[in-house]
Amino acid sequence: MGMTSKAIKMINEVTEIINGDKSVEESVLSRIRSFPSMLQSSGLAPSLAYLLSKSNKELYEELWSKKRSKREELGYTIYLYVVARFIRDEFGYRVEKWEDLMKFIREIDENKENSGLVYQFLLEFLTELKKIGEATLEG
């Protein structure tokens, strides 16, 4: 499956999670627009750590278990879920639990070779996600 197809699939899932909540949709769209630039300027581990700091642990783990919540923090948390889901699906890292994601961030920060590979594919995916998100989500 190509990156555009993966982005379309993920936007469809995000739209389902948002379930018509305009404030959450605007928050997710803001992350979709801004995060690729942050990734390019700050690097993979610092950018993921920033998303982690703005997200909610319980909501993050609820998204993995398919429970749906309607809270304002959901925008950052949904975007973190999108990024982590791509990392899991493409590279096989276990990132479904908060602690696993923190462990992944530490490992990727210490292993620059793997970091570069994840960074390259993640940026390509997020660029496609941004295009599809801006065309699909309202904001």
Domains of the chain by start residue, with CATH? 3-136 (1.10.520.30)
Identify the residue with better confidence: 115 or 73: 115
CB contact at 8 A, 55 and 76: yes
Which tens digits make up the pLDDT trace of 3-39? 999 999 999 999 999 988 899 999 999 999 999 999 9
**pLDDT tens, residue by residue, 115-127:** 999 999 999 999 9
Query: To which H or E segment does residue 59 belong?
Result: helix 57-64
- Whole-model pTM: value is 0.84
Share the mean pLDDT of the chain: 91
Give the pLDDT band (50/70/90) at residue 70.
Answer: low
Using CA atoms, how far apart are residues 36 and 41, in angstroms rounded to an integer? Answer: 9
